[in-house]
Structure 1
Amino acid sequence: MAALDERARPAVGALAGGPRARRAPGPRDRAHPPLARRQRARSRARERARGLPHADDLLSRRRDPRPSCRDGGARRGTRELRRAAAGEPAAEGQRRRDLPHARVAALVPGALGVRRRPRRAARRAPRAAPARDPQRPDRERRRGDGLRALCAEPALRQPRAAGARRRAVLVLLRVHGRVLPGPRAVLRRRDRRRVRRAVGAGVAGQRARARAARRPRRLYARSPTRRVATGRARGVPRAARRGPARLTRAARCDVAVVGGGPAGIAAALAASTAGAATVLIERDPALGGNATHALVHTICGLYLQDTDYPQLVHPGLPTRWAEALVKSGGAGDPEVAGRVRYLPIRPPAFAELAAQACAKAAALTVRLRTVVDGAELGRGPRETSRLSLRTASGGEPLDARVVIDTSGEAAAAALGGADTAMAESAILQRPSFIFRLEGVRGEAFVGFERLRLSSSVAHAARSGGLPPECESLVVRGDGRPGSLYATLTIPPLAGRTFEPLDPDYLAALRVRAYDWARKVVAFLRATRPGFAGARVADWPARVGIRETRRAIGRIELTREDVLAGRRRRDEVASGSWPIELWEDHRRPRFEYPRGPCSIPLGALVSRSHAMLGMAGRCLSATHEALGALRVIGTALATGEAIGVAAALAAREHTTLASVDAEGVREWIAAHADRYPLP
């Protein structure tokens, strides 16, 4: 009794007192003695008939008068509950509004010898008593709903002592709602068909709790097959029931950019600056693409050719990017190579500038070390594209109105079923392997010494002093004393076709290129006096891929467009670099155009999916035209153009092809100073 609620002590004390416990007469009883005597007489008659003198006032909320039961039977108008036999479960009440709930005596099988007659003569035959479990005690057994049922034996028919304490607990269920932790938890998690009706009727004083216990909970959880399993609790796999069930909601954005190279960085910065919620997805641990991981140390395509001084071509982000690199010390002065100019840079400075700019962008979220392994691309403004992202912690979806593919290999376009193309393996441009050397004397690579060095390496490769794969070597200084970058263009693996989309092939090619580069360094140390103390300071994380798969757009740029310098009214960017094709690893093939050519918006929008854009090496161009448009300077320009177009399309709820090209050009010219660049 000490463990019971303090508020229930008066009620429990009255229960323990039995039939002789009487309350003191109140003012109403003194004012109307005949009426009080009649009420007490009726109460005693009910007590003798039911054998439960102390729980009627507590259990009943109905204030209507009840007739006397002089014949020792139950009240009129109630359904009779058959007394349970020894070892038989208690009778179950029916959920009907015209019947009162089962009383406390019905929950204690065999207690007080209660007998009630049925309302109808016809009654379903009772179930056979279950077989007795020899491992359980004789006096009790565990029922399926978690409550304890007592067996009907003569020793338990006494209405006082232990019986009173058992009924007191049931009274607490009704009056104070103090359900023990064990049965309450069972009532919450059991299915409706597992909760006994008699138990539900016993706690039906608080109907909300009883109904909640009976109502099956509908669970939503991920099954081992990655499908959403719905239904009752017993229908969910065990692994899903261990933790809290939840639905994985897809993150939403206006523009999703796949690929964190120069084109992807420009597209993400432009879209976020134009007001679109943007997500930039990069599989590597740092931004920058080949400029960071392949040690590409020049920005080509920024300047006009055949000029007396450097003249920038692009008015927007490419110019701001070059100025920021020069200001931070990550780039030198423009250098001349024949008829063209390029900007020498330091790859770590390029990566640092990209990280700082993307971190300062207000509406931009960068997802590093994230791979896109699935895509459902929308074909209209009312369709949402969904990307399936995979990280070290698992997979998650991402919904976007517009998707921009700047992966360099048209990964999102291919996964989403968009139209793509790739040149034959025999004419695909050969990759590069770039490493940095330190400890070189300055006069060893100044002026014509660079040409003499490349010529000596090529002669050694043709004469057998070096492997034939080392014939093409180009060196450039990086602005620091005694430091230079060496670029080795490498052929495919012997006996195998060039497969730039196969990661195993690229890994094997990098291992072979590493061996070739070590042999070149050893040759320079032995033959060139200025390289006697040279050592390798940086190795690339991967080979530099120049060409792979590309998307097919509404307009495809051709070799004739580039060489003729064709200009269009729907121009959003331009290309000024000549056609540079490394179809042979030993030497490139150059074709110089008459002037800059236009890059229309149609070349940056997918032909099959109107909400898919592309930039960089993924834009729509032929094999020859891509040799001029794949460079970093042009990639920055095309990325900026498609980023602005994507933000306008998301804001106006239209397709990329419906965006006005003149509006894109005007936005680029007017908002170039809004980028978060130093």
Structure 2
Amino acid sequence: MTSISARTSYDVVVVGGGAAGVAAAVSAARTGASVCLVERYGFLGGAATNSSVLAYCGFFDQTREQVVRGIGQDFLDELERQELLTLETSPATGNTIVVLDMETTKTVLDELVRDAGVDVLFHSTLVAADTDNERISAVHIAHRGGTLRLSASAFVDCSGDGALLEAAGAEFQLSPVERRQASTLVMRVGGVGEDADLSTEAMDTAFAAYGQATGEVLTRSNGTCVRMPRSRELMLLLADAYVDVLDVHQLSRAELDGRARARHYLNALKAGMPGWSGAYLASTGPQIGIREARRMLGRESVSADDVLSARRRPEDGIARCGWPMEDHSTPGATEYSGIRDRKWYDIPYGAVTSANITNLWGAGRLTSSDSRSFASLRVMGTSFATGHAAGLAASLHSSAGSVDLPKLRGLLQDQGALL
């Protein structure tokens, strides 16, 4: 039987159990640090599992060279052991994704944190932070039974929305709503024949015909459509929302509208696509997939020029990113801006280090960046890499009171990361 820890003091506390949070917690724990991972849902995986974004982007660049390993590789290795490692490369973009099975993703991530000795608190939401002299001393967590105070030497925010940044008074960036990446309510559709037409062109035709027949305008073009490895359901990213996800009223309306729009998309596909007549909506979400909210202001930020020029950082690079800038800020379209030679660039240590809180790191969607480069480094494969670096940095800080960059890079390589 798994023992239950009741401790409230740790070396490292990580907020958010998505790709970045799991990598941060596991990497820190493997150095011997005591680690608590706080997650508001009852499972790990972040957007992959709470929003059904069942595709890891960013493990490979557009030449199909692998650019992320480390903790992320441990995840891929287990998929391969279960004969579930499924890669798909888009002929149109050259982007390669890892296609995921929902329940397998949850259980493999469970095993990673369990094997590393991480204490996990599910159904727990950060509500406040104690700070003193530009340093966090503790966080306060709300759960079904009340509240809990967790103290630590170092903290990592992998919450996606920057919950700890806000609570601790850390500096962050927030693009105007009209420039933020769209959120999308993911649809999973069953009953679609294996030989059914899945092309973007056929979908656009079906949506146009549905609009003429019903008056319902379906704007999404070149939306993602991927078949799941076990269930054979299709994952569809179509129902976009351009709202401020930090405004509870707008977010709530987006969820309601998204489910209504999903029905229209399904009806259009059933009526206008060969092989779709028996299709049914297996699920939505359950939560809308959020691409952008707060971004941490780090000691350094990744720029669009860094991405476009494939900038290498041999002295302070702590993660690689090979995903192009994938811009969802224009309604109904996805626009790509590539990396030079379709390769990869380095993310520097300063981009995962808070500019004003001395014992705080941020990773995943919180990595410090301008609005254009954010459209590249936000993806989940890259989040494994930035989370890995942030977790090790927090562990080093907890033991030594500072982070020696050459030592951090050495530890990353020892744990299998690509630098």
Q: Please report the TM-score for the alignment, with normalisation by the length of structure 2.
A: 0.92
Paired AA for residue 483 in structure 1? E
Equivalence for 1:456: 205
Q: Does 1:513 align with 2:268?
A: no
Deviates more, 1:311-320 or 1:330-339: 330-339
Q: Which runs of 5+ in 2 are unaligned?
A: 1-5
Q: Does 1:432 align with 2:184?
A: yes
Q: Does 1:667 align with 2:417?
A: no
Is the Cα contact below 8 Å between 1:331 and 1:346 reproduced in 2? no
Equivalence for 1:477: 227
Return the alpha-carbon distance in structure 1 between the equivalents of residues 352 and 279 of structure 2: 45
Is the Cα contact below 8 Å between 1:263 and 1:638 reproduced in 2? yes
CA deviations on 1:10-46 (whole Å, 9 max, x unpaired) are: xxxxxxxxxxxxxxxxxxxxxxxxxxxxxxxxxxxxx
Is the Cα contact below 8 Å between 1:457 and 1:471 reproduced in 2? no
CA distance 1:377–1:312, change in 2 (3 Å)? farther
Deviation at 1:384, TM superposition (A): 5.6
CA deviations on 1:555-581 (whole Å, 9 max, x unpaired) are: 011111111111121111111110011
Is the Cα contact below 8 Å between 1:421 and 1:552 reproduced in 2? yes
CA distance 1:464–1:564, change in 2 (3 Å)? farther
Return the alpha-carbon distance in structure 1 between the equivalents of residues 138 and 406 of structure 2: 30
Equivalence for 1:631: 379
Return the alpha-carbon distance in structure 2 between the equivalents of residues 288 and 481 of structure 1: 19
CA deviations on 1:356-380 (whole Å, 9 max, x unpaired) are: 2212222x10000111110124557
1:541 pairs, out of 271, 286, 289, with 286
Equivalence for 1:651: 399
Paired AA for residue 285 in structure 2? P
Q: Does 1:290 align with 2:47?
A: yes
Return the alpha-carbon distance in structure 1 between the equivalents of residues 218 and 129 of structure 2: 39
CA distance 1:390–1:531, change in 2 (3 Å)? same
Return the alpha-carbon distance in structure 2 between the equivalents of residues 282 and 526 of structure 1: 41
CA distance 1:599–1:378, change in 2 (3 Å)? farther
Is the Cα contact below 8 Å between 1:444 and 1:450 reproduced in 2? no
Q: Report matched runs for 1:20-35 at 5 Å.
A: none
Is the Cα contact below 8 Å between 2:185 and 2:289 reproduced in 1? yes
Return the alpha-carbon distance in structure 2 between the equivalents of residues 316 and 665 of structure 1: 12
Is the Cα contact below 8 Å between 1:571 and 1:661 reproduced in 2? no
CA deviations on 1:388-439 (whole Å, 9 max, x unpaired) are: 1111111121111001000001110111111111000111111111121111
Q: Which runs of 5+ in 1 are unaligned?
A: 1-248, 493-497, 674-678
Return the alpha-carbon distance in structure 2 between the equivalents of residues 522 and 466 of structure 1: 13
2:75 pairs, out of 318, 321, 329, with 321
Deviation at 1:320, TM superposition (A): 2.5
Return the alpha-carbon distance in structure 1 between the equivalents of residues 196 and 355 of structure 2: 51
Paired AA for residue 643 in structure 1? G
CA distance 1:579–1:322, change in 2 (3 Å)? same
CA distance 1:490–1:315, change in 2 (3 Å)? closer
Is the Cα contact below 8 Å between 2:43 and 2:106 reproduced in 1? yes
Return the alpha-carbon distance in structure 2 between the equivalents of residues 517 and 424 of structure 1: 27
CA deviations on 1:436-474 (whole Å, 9 max, x unpaired) are: 1111111114xxx42233222442366464622453443
Equivalence for 1:110: none
Q: Does 1:524 align with 2:274?
A: no
Equivalence for 1:342: 97
CA distance 1:412–1:653, change in 2 (3 Å)? same
Q: Report matched runs for 1:218-617 at 5 Å.
A: 251-305=8-62, 307=63, 310-337=64-91, 338-362=93-117, 364-377=118-131, 385-445=137-197, 449-460=198-209, 463=212, 465=214, 467-472=216-221, 473-480=223-230, 482-492=232-242, 498-568=243-313, 569-594=315-340, 595-617=343-365
Return the alpha-carbon distance in structure 1 between the equivalents of residues 392 and 185 of structure 2: 34
Return the alpha-carbon distance in structure 2 between the equivalents of residues 644 and 379 of structure 1: 23
CA distance 1:277–1:466, change in 2 (3 Å)? farther
CA deviations on 1:287-335 (whole Å, 9 max, x unpaired) are: 1111001100211111122x3xx32112412222222223224441342
Paired AA for residue 450 in structure 1? S
Paired AA for residue 190 in structure 2? E
Paired AA for residue 226 in structure 2? R
CA distance 1:527–1:589, change in 2 (3 Å)? closer
Return the alpha-carbon distance in structure 2 between the equivalents of residues 646 and 589 of structure 1: 35
Deviation at 1:503, TM superposition (A): 3.1
CA deviations on 1:274-296 (whole Å, 9 max, x unpaired) are: 11100000111211111001100
Return the alpha-carbon distance in structure 1 between the equivalents of residues 133 and 307 of structure 2: 30
CA distance 1:426–1:416, change in 2 (3 Å)? same
Is the Cα contact below 8 Å between 1:320 and 1:672 reproduced in 2? no
Judging by fraction of residues, say which structure has more strand. Answer: 2
Equivalence for 1:77: none
Paired AA for residue 237 in structure 2? T
SS at match of 2:87: coil
CA distance 1:477–1:554, change in 2 (3 Å)? same
Return the alpha-carbon distance in structure 2 between the equivalents of residues 546 and 432 of structure 1: 8
SS at match of 2:244: coil
Return the alpha-carbon distance in structure 2 between the equivalents of residues 344 and 482 of structure 1: 11
Is the Cα contact below 8 Å between 1:489 and 1:585 reproduced in 2? no
CA distance 1:464–1:660, change in 2 (3 Å)? farther
Is the Cα contact below 8 Å between 1:379 and 1:611 reproduced in 2? no
Paired AA for residue 175 in structure 2? A
Return the alpha-carbon distance in structure 2 between the equivalents of residues 267 and 482 of structure 1: 32
SS at match of 2:152: strand
Deviation at 1:348, TM superposition (A): 2.4
Return the alpha-carbon distance in structure 2 between the equivalents of residues 413 and 663 of structure 1: 26
CA deviations on 1:45-72 (whole Å, 9 max, x unpaired) are: xxxxxxxxxxxxxxxxxxxxxxxxxxxx
CA deviations on 1:191-243 (whole Å, 9 max, x unpaired) are: xxxxxxxxxxxxxxxxxxxxxxxxxxxxxxxxxxxxxxxxxxxxxxxxxxxxx
Root mean square deviation of aligned Cα: 2.1
Return the alpha-carbon distance in structure 2 between the equivalents of residues 481 and 287 of structure 1: 20
SS at match of 2:179: coil
Return the alpha-carbon distance in structure 1 between the equivalents of residues 241 and 288 of structure 2: 12
Return the alpha-carbon distance in structure 2 between the equivalents of residues 348 and 304 of structure 1: 27
Return the alpha-carbon distance in structure 2 between the equivalents of residues 489 and 322 of structure 1: 29
CA distance 1:480–1:279, change in 2 (3 Å)? closer
Q: Please report the TM-score for the alignment, with normalisation by the length of structure 1.
A: 0.58
Is the Cα contact below 8 Å between 2:208 and 2:218 reproduced in 1? no
Q: Percent identity?
A: 28
